[in-house]
Amino acid sequence: MYSTAFLAALLAPAAVNAQLNDLAVRAGLKYFGTALGEGSINSDSQYAAILSDKSMFGQLVPENGQKWDATEPSRGQFTYTQGDITANTARRNGQGMRCHTLVWYSQLPNWVNSGSWTRQTLQSVIETHISNVMGHYKGQCYAWDVVNEAINDDGTWRPSPFYNTFQTDYFAIAFNAAKRADPAAKLYYNDYNLEYNQAKTDRAVELVKIVQAAGAPIDGVGLQAHLIVGSTPSRSNLATVLRRFTALGVEVAYTELDIRHSSLPASSSALATQGNDYANVVGSCLDVAGCVGVTVWGFTDKYSWIPQTFPGTGAALIYDSNFNKKPAWTSVSSVLAAKATGNPPVSSSTSTFTTITTPPVTTTTTSARPTSTSSAGGPEQTRWGQCGGNGWTGPTRCQSPWTCQKLNDWYWQCL
């Protein structure tokens, strides 16, 4: 457990004067983000003000607005009213966006769940859904959760209309369709309880290999990190899990972080433990090359999904129900500040994470190709680092053997 003196030392001036996303970028991450609750953003001005502060949250993800039941409630009839809430908020604030989610067993409309499918008909449904939804948000999403929660906790494959029809073949179908729909977006597999490095983690490693063996593109694995206070793995153990995936050549991120108390109200010691647990999660991301960011699944206990799903538990987030910063906020700030020490300050207007500043366009613009790794002189960027893009003024050469590759007009990366 952190002592009071240790936390104070970690905070230092940088933590006092900087918010979480600015600290995360200084510490080498692309973003510190949060899920946006579509039902809260327009009804609670205090919630909206904190969520819209780019220095605090550089990235947003729709909590429910891009799921299948929200985007295609009837076959072939698409609606983006809910998903556009997040997209419009991010664009207005200059924040980035992770997009969530395309192929998932839950929150499916009845016509998908109850359909009598053949491989041919269901493949058409999957490809049509992905093409339309990703097409609507093309150019706006840093990453998409393409396949979500395909594995049971015991490591077996989860039954769903997709698995029941295709077995594991639907993974490649979905990832290939996603690549066609938005070639610039990072494509993720996303799941919970991967953090414990047990049978489910083993199966997720296998899933990545299955997709790769099929010749389909997969760029990342999202660890949801819905954890429990006092039962969160250590920083080093979490880093070990992350490295199992980065060793396969994919990036990783914590995509839905919350750490719930198993009984309420939480004592002061339980709140301190929660803070330590948050610090371990964020710290493990900082420890692993290829861990690109952290997203909390909401930021205030006032609107957390936890109490409704796990009755008697909760208080899982970094702000309490009255929008006061909890010890968890301080711990996250501290661990980011410790990593950021010595790095130049950033402001909410600068970030290595692509942000949405204009509506998506269908025309293609070209950027000057960054200097190749063979150019003489000048600083070199490490693997996973940014090496070019509109407005980029940092290193344009990559350390060997990595090369600078264009992901979109605003972001080139050493891969």
Which positions are catalytic? 149, 256
DSSP class of residue 301?
G
Give me the residue label for tokens 């970094």. Answer: 318
Retrieve residue 58's tokens: 């550089």
Cβ atoms of 108 and 68 closer than 8 Å: yes
Helices 327-340 and 4-17: angle between axes, nearest 10 degrees: 70
**CB proximity list for 31: less than 8 A, separation 6 or greater:** 21, 24, 25, 58, 59, 96, 142, 292, 293, 294, 295, 351, 353
The secondary structure of 53-81 as a DSSP string is -TTT-SEEEESSTTSHHHH-SBTTB---T
Cβ atoms of 355 and 90 closer than 8 Å: yes
- Taking the C-alpha atoms of residue 332 and residue 233, their distance in angstroms, rounded to an integer, is 16
Helices 268-287 and 327-340: angle between axes, nearest 10 degrees: 30
